Amino acid sequence: MEYEKTLVMGNVAMAEAAVRAGCRFYAGYPITPQNEVSEYLAKRLPEAGGVFVQAESELAAINMVFGAASTGARAMTSSSSPGISLMQEAISYLAAAQVPCLIANIMRGGPGLGNIQGAQSDYFQATRGGGHGDYRLIVLAPWSVQEMYDLTVRAFELGDHYRNPVLLLADGILGQMAEAIEFREPAKKKSVLKPWALTGCAGRKPNVIRTLYLKEKDALEEKNIELQAKYEKITSELQLSETRFGDDAEIGVIAYGTPARIAHSAVKQAREAGVKVGLFRPITLWPFPARELRKLAARCRKLLVVEMSQGQMIEDVRLARIPATEVDPKIEFLGRGGGWYPKPKELLAKILEIAKS
Amino acid sequence: MTPEEKTIRQGRMHYCPVCGHSIAQRLIGEVMDELGIRTRTIGTAPVGCAVLLYDYFNCDIIECPHGRIPAVATGIKRMQPEKIVFTYGGDGDLLSIGLAETIHCANRGENITMFFINNAVYGMTGGQMAPTTLIGQKTITTPEGRIAATTGAPLRICEMLKTLVRPVYIERVAVHDAHHVERTRQAIRKAFLNQINGNGFSFVEILSMCPTYWRMGGKDACQFVGNEMMSYFPIEKFRDASE
């Protein structure tokens, strides 16, 4: 199907995608660089029969989402790094109670109050839990405004399918950048039944959403085993990634989000200079697409991880259990923290240097 | 009405003897039965002694993070405006860690019904000072009695909420004797009716006994509510714009 292209910011693309995916509740607290989300939804959601609430804090925002999503509604919040830190307790509850929702982190520089430039230094927080307890979020990483749109739609579908909160993890550049995109209508799917939702107990037994297991012996451990089984299922079913120029690559560049865009340019330029280099772009950060990475890495003698941080995803690359073949690739890193990104020229120089070594 | 159709389930509650929770919860359940709203009600359980609310209430319940009851309830009510949403929480939950949520929820005038159990102490964690602990009252974190100079004065939430424009009903009641229990029942009823009729935000503070962490017998604990607590926290209807 053909769609007209519209020029929009990433934040707006995400907000519009949420509405089209059936999201009917948004609560958020102002923080740069994601304020366009609430600005857009304050007008758009009521038009669509939904509810927009400017919450008194990020703590309240995520807990309003907890309440709204507990009734079976599609609900979301968005924030940026420090605000996402404030939400971590409730995110742990959402994961424990298996209440699906969308949380968007349009990352800015950290730690602390940091700055308002785009960054990727919340990778650990996003993929390792952030909140307390053994839990996982499905983490999606767009690299374009079109993907801000597409992955938002996908996030709601995945959340309902797996009964799990989903985190959309995008650097601030993606939120602020405008690109021409297609507002693709989400495929009409049968709505997911939510027999667990709180809607009043007329005609059924009462539903209870809780995360405390105080009285029943072993119940909490059993709950943890149940959650882990789900996480294993997600890990085997949902490793999304994209590989470009991978077939004959001897060097593999690994990046997500904006650095993947920069890496894509640098890889193409290096190709023109005769270097056999490929790009690997994780789309799910959890589960980390280790299977596809291993395929590429099996042919490479060097891997280069590029991030807008001091090096966080690189740990997942190391953990991807790349088998020691005869080439046994060395893992190198190029990253910048504090709200900066490696420049295309810098990255090209690094690839050429690696190619010579 | 068969026992299965009643809001409060058959069986024992885990609360200590003379604890106000069991009285307050039974009253809420009985009023829900009178109004016939059990099957369209969604309740919230707090963190603290009353966390096991869902063991006693035969209706949909969500257990909320500490302090975030009013935010969770807001999300539920906005998505299920035809349902009846009540919240139940104590002094630590609503007045300490969740004071911002309590005030902002009231200030938005969410059409929900909030029950606040004020027993002037943290029960579940072993008897620490609460925001409502009286001056001079001994707790495990005020071993010499609460001193205003270092810990502030007990917080009167009804008086604070009265400064807001949006709440329609604010009343403080108590459950230490039969007369006040009956008055509490009427307040609970009014607070639910306000929501049913779409009037707006209702808040009922219930002065309540905690003999265990007040280190008192049951009779003394009831007298403590009637004398000490009621002289600082007056029994009063602070706002009734429900008509």
**Do A110 and A76 share a domain, yes or no?**
yes
**Do A257 and A229 share a domain, yes or no?**
no
Chain B residue with minimal CA distance to A211?
B63
- The pLDDT value recorded for residue A327 is 59
DSSP string across A205-226: PPPEE-----SSTTHHHHHHHH
Between CA A184 and CA A20 the distance in angstroms is: 9
B81 lies within 8 A of chain A by CB: no
Q: Domains in chain A: how many in total?
A: 2
- Mean pLDDT, range A146-158, rounded to an integer: 97
In a domain, A210, yes or no: no
Q: Please, which residues bridge with residue A167 across strands?
A: A103, A139
For residue B199, CA distances in Å to B33, B140, B158 come to 21, 42, 18
**ipTM tops 0.95:** yes
Could you tell me how many CB contacts below 8 A there are between chain A and chain B? 131
- The pLDDT value recorded for residue B242 is 79
Structural domain harbouring A148: 5-201+223-237
pLDDT tens digit string along B201-235? 999 999 999 999 999 999 999 999 999 999 999 99
**Do A136 and A232 share a domain, yes or no?**
yes
- The pLDDT value recorded for residue A324 is 62
B241 pLDDT higher than 80: yes
CATH number at residue A306: 3.40.50.920
- Does the pTM surpass 0.95? The reply is yes
In a domain, A216, yes or no: no
**Do A278 and A326 share a domain, yes or no?**
yes
- The pLDDT value recorded for residue B217 is 97
A3 pLDDT higher than 90: no
In a domain, A308, yes or no: yes
B80·A201 Cβ contact <8 A: no
Comparing A138-152, A205-219, A272-286, B127-141, the range with the smallest average pLDDT is A205-219
Name the residue among B51, B52, B68 with its Cβ closest to that of A63. B68
**Do A83 and A230 share a domain, yes or no?**
yes
**Residue A136 phi, psi (nearest 5):** -135, 145
Rounded to a whole number, what is the distance in Å from the CA of B7 to chain A's nearest CA? Answer: 11
Chain A residue with minimal CA distance to B58?
A206
pLDDT tens digit string along B14-60? 999 999 999 999 999 999 999 999 999 999 999 999 999 999 999 99
Longest dimension (CA), chain B: 55
pLDDT tens digit string along B70-123? 999 999 999 999 999 999 999 999 999 999 999 999 999 999 999 999 999 999
Rounded percentage of chain A residues whose pLDDT exceeds 70: 97
Between CA A87 and CA B3 the distance in angstroms is: 41
- Mean pLDDT, range B172-184, rounded to an integer: 98
- The pLDDT value recorded for residue A72 is 98
Domains (range + CATH), chain B: 3-126+155-240 (3.40.50.970)
pLDDT tens digit string along A27-69? 999 999 999 999 999 999 999 999 999 999 999 999 999 999 9
Residues of chain A positioned with their CB less than 8 A from the CB of B48: none
**Do A70 and A189 share a domain, yes or no?**
yes
Give the start-end residues of each E strand in chain A. Answer: 5-9, 23-28, 51-54, 74-79, 102-107, 138-140, 166-171, 178-182, 208-209, 241-244, 251-254, 277-282, 284-286, 302-307, 330-335
Chain A residues touching chain B at CB-CB below 8 Å: 24-25, 27, 51, 53, 55-57, 59-61, 63-71, 73, 75, 89-90, 93, 198-203, 206-212, 214-215
Name the residue among A25, A201, A208 with its Cβ closest to that of B75. A25
- The pLDDT value recorded for residue A146 is 98
Chain A residue with minimal CA distance to B57?
A206
For residue A326, name the pLDDT band (cuts at 50, 70, 90): low
Comparing B158 with A215, which gets the higher pLDDT?
B158
**Do A152 and A42 share a domain, yes or no?**
yes
Rounded to a whole number, what is the distance in Å from the CA of B60 to chain A's nearest CA? Answer: 5
A357 pLDDT higher than 90: no
Residues of chain B positioned with their CB less than 8 A from the CB of A61: 71
With b meaning 16 or more CB within 10 Å and e meaning fewer, what string describes B8-38? beeeebebbebbbbbbbbbbbbbbbbebebb
B57 lies within 8 A of chain A by CB: yes
A189 pLDDT higher than 60: yes
Give the start-end residues of each E strand in A164-323. Answer: 166-171, 178-182, 208-209, 241-244, 251-254, 277-282, 284-286, 302-307
Residues of chain A positioned with their CB less than 8 A from the CB of B40: 200, 202
Per the prediction, chain A carries an average pLDDT of 95
In a domain, A70, yes or no: yes
Residues of chain A positioned with their CB less than 8 A from the CB of B61: 198, 206-210
Tokens representing A267? 């890889």
Chain A residue with minimal CA distance to B4?
A205
For residue A53, CA distances in Å to A35, A144, A170, B75 come to 14, 28, 23, 9
**Do A130 and A279 share a domain, yes or no?**
no
For residue A298, name the pLDDT band (cuts at 50, 70, 90): confident
**Do A25 and A82 share a domain, yes or no?**
yes
Tokens representing B70? 């009013």
In a domain, A212, yes or no: no
**Do A138 and A50 share a domain, yes or no?**
yes
Comparing B40 with A2, which gets the higher pLDDT?
B40
β-pairing verdict for A178-182 and A5-9: antiparallel
pLDDT tens digit string along A77-130? 999 999 999 999 999 999 999 999 999 999 999 999 999 999 999 999 999 989
